[in-house]
Amino acid sequence: MPVWDSATRIAAFLCLILPLALAFGGQSVTRVVNRLPAIARLLLPCWSCIPYLLVSASRGVFQTHWLVIYALLPVLIAVALWRARANDPDQRGHWLDFAVLLILGFVVEFRRFEPAWPRHLGGFNRIILLDAGLYGFVVIRQLRNVGFDLRPHFADMKIALRELTFYAPIGVLLGVAMGFLHFHPEWPAFGKILSSFVSIFLLVAVLEETYFRGWWQNLLERRLGRNSALFATALLFGLSHFNKGATAFNWRYVLLASLAGVFYGRAWRSEYRLLASMITHACVDTIWLLWFH
C-alpha cells in the first residue's frame, strides 16, 4: 500500500489543523476555543484518536487500546493543565506542568507509542503529542511567552543567524576534535540543501524547539531565572540525544547537543519567539547532515 493513501492524507490534515491555526492565527484561536463550555474545551482534544483510527484501520493494524490511549491522553493533559492554570494563575510553574512535560518527553524519547503505527508512519505519534501539548499549554493553560508564532519577522532571521554564527565554529572545532564530526567538502545541489532544511525544520526543529524552549525553558525561567533556565534546558536537550547514533550512552552527541541548546535557547529568549530558535536549529542540523555527518 502507498505510504500516502487517502486515509493517511486526511489523517495528516487533521493533525496539522491545530499547529497551523496557532502558528498563523495567534490568539484568535485561543479566544474562539475558550468561548466553549468548560466540558467541551476539556473533551475537545479527544479528536486526536481520529488520525490513528484512519491510518490503522486502512492498513489493518487497528487495536482498540491504542484508540483509547490517543483519545484519553490528550484529554488528561488538558485537565491537568486546566488545574495548573487554576492553582498557579501567576504562571510560576506548577508540578502538573512539569508532570505533563515529563510524560510527553518519556513517550517520545523512548518511542513508547510508535508500535501503534504502521512502518514509516510512526511520526504521526510525535505530531499528535505536539498537538496535545499545544492545546494544553497554549489554549487551556494560556502559558505566556511560548512564542509559537510562525509568521516571519526580520528579527527572527537576524537572531537565528547570529546564534548560528556563534555556535558553528565551536561545534565544528569541538566535534572534529572529538572524532564525532567528519568533514565532507562536496557541495550538494541547491535543491537538496533546501529540501534538507525544510524537512528538518518541519519534522525536527518545530517539535523539539516547542518542547524544550517554548515549554521547558519558559517554565524554568519563572523558577530558576534566565541563565539557570537556559543552561538547565540545554542540558535536558543534550541528554535527550544520549541514545542517538549509538547503542550506548553517546556522550559526544550529548555534549555537542547541550552546547547547541545554549544557543537555541538564546535565540528563543531574545524576543520569546520560537521561529528564531527553529531556524538556528534547522541550520545546524542541515550543515551537520550535508557536510559533517
What are the domain boundaries of the chain? 6-140, 154-292
- Per-residue model confidence as pLDDT tens digits over 199-214: 999 999 999 999 999 9
DSSP at 116: G
Q: Which pLDDT does position 244 carry in this prediction? A: 78
* 175 vs 169: CA distance, rounded Å: 10
Phi, psi of 36 (to 5 degrees): -75, 155
- Per-residue model confidence as pLDDT tens digits over 23-81: 999 789 999 999 999 999 999 999 999 999 999 999 999 999 999 999 999 999 999 99
66 to each of 8, 113, 138, how far by Cα in Å?
Answer: 17, 8, 25
The total number of residues shown for the chain amounts to 293
DSSP at 247: S
> Strand, helix or coil at 90?
coil
* 18 vs 70: CA distance, rounded Å: 16
This prediction's pTM: 0.96
* 40 vs 33: CA distance, rounded Å: 9
CB 111 within 8 A of CB 169: no
> Strand, helix or coil at 88?
coil
Q: What is the CA radius of gyration of the chain?
A: 19
DSSP at 32: H
Q: Which pLDDT does position 90 carry in this prediction? A: 95
Share of the chain above pLDDT 70, in %: 98
If one counts every other C-beta atom within 10 angstroms of the C-beta of residue 125, the result is 22
- Report whether pLDDT(247) > 70: no
